[in-house]
């Protein structure tokens, strides 16, 4: 095998152990189809196979689920061994996963998590992007992204919901009271794993989306899947169509095959006003094909990347400077541009682009968390809660939608005005979820909810599993991109301004706290979303099997999983979080959190006069 593996390393830059790739199909089967001794292990096997399903995963052959390099395992040998361990495990054992490598089963207890996952955890000084390439090629670490390496990816609907909420709120920020978003332009890029959700979210938010994608295959795939309404590959045609659609106040999503830099520049020359702008190229991974430079075709770029990576890097940086200049010109006309967590601002600044604010500390543009998701959702505890029906039956998913909708309506009836908007948006989302045909792979649903919503919905699911109203257990989870799960100074924690956005205590507390409060599996990763070394993020999975034990665990763990982050955000003096944590302490006597005493700015300023 040594010869074979060295050939893989030479040809692909990684050892994938293709000889161990199973010849059976990979997809989420019904839970009873898995040959495990315990239900929780079967559920994890189901989630792993869903993450590797070719209909769900971006590069299934390379065991990559999404985000360009988000791996479930490093090689097929690890996959097989892990499935074998899961099949054999009892409910008094825990499987420890080291960046895709199953270290083994260790004795534990019924209350312990069944699986503990770490991905890409490095000694801090060895966490530069080049280190990842080297250590990943050596086979000792992997980039787990967020939900890829934690078996919690549920296809693009996860990101559709977050993008819809972000866009709706972005429009709320810029539109006058009597205006709506029809015919208003949202210009962005990327039709890949996650970015491909943008046109669909644009349609749900009711605007005119133009999404540029350099890779024709990716653009065609998204169009064929119905995630973008029309496909255009000629700039003149694009300009004419956009002008006409604007005129007619159309709600339309256009997948444009071409480089985003060209679109920003041409729209400026054509005087096409862009209302909202963003970017979702894979800039967390700028030097290995995450971002394609302007003036080179897709194929030319790939050649250059292989033949002269240093020149490729220069071209990427030149292109980022050009893109920034064009965006700046649009912004001077009034475009609202925001960073959607792909490290655009960070990499543009590293490329020397004109992107810094006058104080030379901040960027000219906000991240979507600073302006939108942070203060409007995370600080109140709203985040991307999700579930999977392990029966694989669409009727079960319908039932869960109905249960969740009823609970949200119930909560809304007495909810304070501070969270009314969020409750309304989430009610609309869950009401229309089936109609929007969001399921790809397992029968799964995402729903932004706060601690109260998550706990009440999960309790009702557990009861429905017990009564047989839902035919098989439910897996609960969430994106790592949430209230408490992720420390990421340019994304999830970018709306924390007391300096602690560069610490990672919250994510670590979260994963440890969840693990002894009842999670079925927990994970902690380096590098999801914005890039290796830039973020620490964690998540959980929890099986609801209808038992009383499940009920105790879900209440205990979901409460901490949300309120840990609210407490930390309130300690950073975020006023929405301060409100939320005080409200929670009134309802929950066991919760006692250190509250900040707000000092008047004048008093502090006087100290430094």
Ligand X SMILES: NC(=O)c1ccc[n+]([C@@H]2O[C@H](COP(=O)([O-])OP(=O)(O)OC[C@H]3O[C@@H](n4cnc5c(N)ncnc54)[C@H](O)[C@@H]3O)[C@@H](O)[C@H]2O)c1
Q: Map the footprint of ligand X across residues 522-541, applying CB under 6 A.
A: 529
C-beta separation of 443 from 388 below 8 A: yes
159 versus 208: smaller Cβ distance to ligand X:
159
Q: Among 341, 366, 453, 546, indicate the residue that binds ligand X (CB under 6 A).
A: 341
Which residue has 């009271």 as its token pair?
177
Alpha-carbon torsion (25, 27, 33, 34), positive or negative: positive
**Per-residue CA distances from 258 to 278, 284, 347 (Å):** 16, 20, 21
Q: Which of 82, 141, 282, 443 is close enough to bind ligand X by CB under 6 A?
A: 282
Residue bearing tokens 């109609």: 435
Taking the complex as a whole, the smallest distance from the CB of residue 45 to ligand X amounts, in Å, to: 25
H or E stretch at 447: strand 444-449
Q: Minimum distance from CB of 294 to ligand X (Å)? A: 6
For the chain, how are helix, strand and coil distributed in percent, rounded to 5? 50, 15, 35
Residue 500 CA to residue 128 CA, distance in Å, equals 21
State the helix-helix crossing angle for 39-52 and 76-88, rounded to 10 degrees: 160
Count CB atoms within 10 A of the CB of residue 22.
12
Strand partners, 231: 255
For residue 517, the minimal CB distance to ligand X (Å) is: 26
Residues contacting residue 473 through CB under 8 Å, at least 6 positions apart: 31, 39, 43, 390, 465, 543, 544, 545, 546
Strand ranges for 108-251 from DSSP E? 115-119, 185-189, 208-213, 230-232
Q: Which of residues 92-121 bind ligand X (CB under 6 A)?
A: none
Closer to ligand X by CB, 452 or 479: give it: 479
Question: Which CB atom, from 66 or from 268, has the smaller least distance to ligand X?
Answer: 66
Cα 388 to Cα 474: distance, rounded to the nearest angstrom: 6
Cβ of residue 213: shortest distance to ligand X, in angstroms?
5
Q: How many residues bind ligand X (CB under 6 A)?
A: 33
Q: Which residues pair with 175 in a beta bridge?
A: none
Span 350-409, contacts to ligand X by CB under 6 A: none
Minimum distance, C-beta of residue 279 to ligand X, in the bound complex (Å)? 8
Q: Between 68 and 102, name the residue whose CB sits nearer to ligand X.
A: 68
Q: Are 189 and 254 in contact (CB under 8 A)?
A: no
Task: Supply the DSSP string of 241-310, one letter for each residue.
Answer: HHHHHHHTT--EEEEEES-HHHHHHHHHHTTPPPSEE---S-TTSIIIIISPPTTS-HHHHHHHHHH-HH
Rounded to an integer, what distance in angstroms lies between the CA atom of residue 482 and that of residue 385? 9
Least separation in angstroms between residue 259's CB and ligand X is: 4
Nearer to ligand X, 34 or 368 (CB): 368
Nearer to ligand X, 34 or 292 (CB): 292
Identify residues 155-214 at the interface with ligand X (CB under 6 A). 159, 162, 189-195, 212-214
Looking at residues 481 to 520 of the shown chain, list those that interact with ligand X (rule: CB under 6 A): 481
Stretch that binds ligand X, among 62-70, 78-86, 180-188, 514-522 (CB under 6 A): 62-70
Q: How far is the CB of 185 from ligand X (least distance, A)?
A: 17
Structure tokens belonging to residue 553: 């665990």
Residue among 65, 164, 181, 280 that touches ligand X (CB under 6 A): 280
Would you list the DSSP string of 103-118? Answer: EEEEE--TTS-SEEEE
Of 42 and 253, which has the nearer Cβ to ligand X?
253
**Distance in Å, CB of 301 to ligand X, minimum:** 8
| From candidates 50, 58, 157, 486, binder to ligand X by CB under 6 A | 58
The conformation of residue 367, written as its DSSP 8-state character, comes to B
Please pick, from the candidates 141, 342, 493, 510, the single residue that binds ligand X as defined by CB under 6 A: 342
Residue 608 sits at the vertex; the CA angle it makes with 606 and 609, to the nearest 5 degrees, is 65
**Whose CB is nearest to ligand X?**
192
Is residue 67 within the footprint of ligand X (CB under 6 A)? yes
CB of 283 to ligand X, least distance (A): 6
- The whole-angstrom separation of Cα 197 and Cα 205 is 12
Q: Which of residues 213-272 bind ligand X (CB under 6 A)?
A: 213-215, 218, 259-260
CB of 342 to ligand X, least distance (A): 3
Where does this chain touch ligand X (CB under 6 A) — which range of 65-73, 374-382, 571-579, 594-602? 65-73
Name the site residues for ligand X (rule: CB under 6 A).
Answer: 58, 66-68, 159, 162, 189-195, 212-215, 218, 259-260, 280-284, 290-292, 340-342, 481, 529
């Amino acid at each position: 095998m040594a010869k074979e593996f060295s050939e893989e390393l030479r040809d692909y830059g990684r050892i994938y152990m293709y000889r161990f790739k199973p010849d059976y199909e990979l997809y989420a089967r019904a839970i009873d189809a898995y040959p495990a001794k315990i239900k929780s292990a079967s559920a994890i096997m189901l989630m792993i196979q869903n993450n590797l399903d070719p209909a769900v995963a971006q590069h299934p052959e390379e065991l990559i689920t999404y985000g360009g390099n988000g791996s479930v395992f490093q090689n097929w040998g690890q996959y097989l061994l892990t499935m074998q361990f899961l099949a054999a495990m009892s409910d008094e054992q825990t499987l420890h996963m080291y960046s895709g490598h199953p270290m083994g089963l260790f004795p534990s207890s019924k209350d312990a998590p069944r699986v503990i996952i770490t991905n890409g955890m490095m000694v801090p000084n060895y966490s530069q992007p080049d280190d990842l390439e080297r250590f990943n090629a050596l086979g000792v670490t992997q980039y787990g992204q967020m939900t890829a390496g934690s078996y919690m990816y549920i296809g693009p609907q996860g990101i559709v919901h977050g993008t819809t909420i972000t866009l709706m709120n972005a429009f709320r920020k810029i539109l006058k009271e009597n205006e709506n978003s029809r015919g208003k332009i949202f210009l962005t890029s990327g039709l890949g794993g996650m970015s491909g959700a943008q046109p669909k979210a644009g349609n749900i938010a009711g605007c005119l989306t133009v999404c540029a994608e350099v890779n024709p295959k990716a653009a065609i795939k998204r169009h064929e899947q119905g995630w973008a309404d029309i496909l255009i590959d000629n700039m003149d045609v694009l300009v004419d169509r956009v002008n006409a659609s604007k005129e007619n106040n159309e709600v339309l999503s256009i997948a444009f095959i071409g480089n985003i830099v060209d679109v920003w520049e041409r729209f400026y020359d054509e005087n096409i006003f862009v209302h909202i702008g963003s970017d979702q190229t894979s800039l967390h991974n700028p030097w290995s094909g995450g971002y394609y430079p302007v003036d080179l075709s897709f194929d030319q770029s790939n050649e250059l990347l292989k033949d002269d990576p240093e020149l490729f890097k220069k071209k990427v940086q030149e292109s980022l400077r050009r893109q920034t200049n064009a965006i700046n010109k649009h912004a001077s006309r009034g475009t609202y541009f925001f960073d959607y967590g792909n490290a655009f601002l960070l990499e543009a600044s590293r490329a020397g682009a004109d992107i810094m604010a006058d104080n030379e500390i901040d960027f000219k543009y906000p991240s979507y968390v600073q302006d939108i998701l942070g203060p409007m959702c995370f600080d109140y505890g709203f985040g991307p809660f999700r579930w999977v029906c392990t029966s694989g039956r669409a009727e079960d998913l319908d039932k869960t939608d109905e249960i969740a909708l009823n609970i949200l309506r119930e909560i809304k009836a007495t909810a304070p005005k501070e969270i009314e908007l969020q409750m309304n948006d989430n009610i609309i989302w869950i009401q229309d979820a089936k109609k929007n045909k969001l399921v790809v792979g397992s029968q799964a649903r995402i729903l932004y909810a706060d601690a109260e919503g998550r706990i009440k919905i999960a309790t009702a699911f557990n009861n429905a599993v017990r009564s047989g109203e839902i035919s098989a257990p439910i897996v609960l989870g969430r994106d790592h991109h949430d209230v408490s799960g992720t420390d990421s100074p340019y994304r999830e924690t970018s709306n924390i301004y007391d300096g602690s956005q560069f610490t990672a205590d919250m994510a670590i507390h979260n994963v440890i706290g969840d693990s002894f409060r009842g999670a079925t599996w927990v994970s902690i990763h380096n590098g999801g979303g914005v890039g290796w070394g830039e973020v620490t993020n964690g998540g959980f999975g929890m099986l609801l099997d209808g038992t009383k034990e499940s009920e105790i665990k879900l209440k205990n763990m979901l409460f901490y999983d949300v309120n840990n982050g609210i407490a930390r955000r309130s300690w950073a003096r975020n006023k929405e979080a301060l409100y939320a944590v005080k409200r929670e302490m009134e309802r929950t006597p066991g919760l006692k959190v250190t509250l900040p005493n707000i000092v008047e700015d004048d008093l502090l300023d006087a100290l430094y006069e």
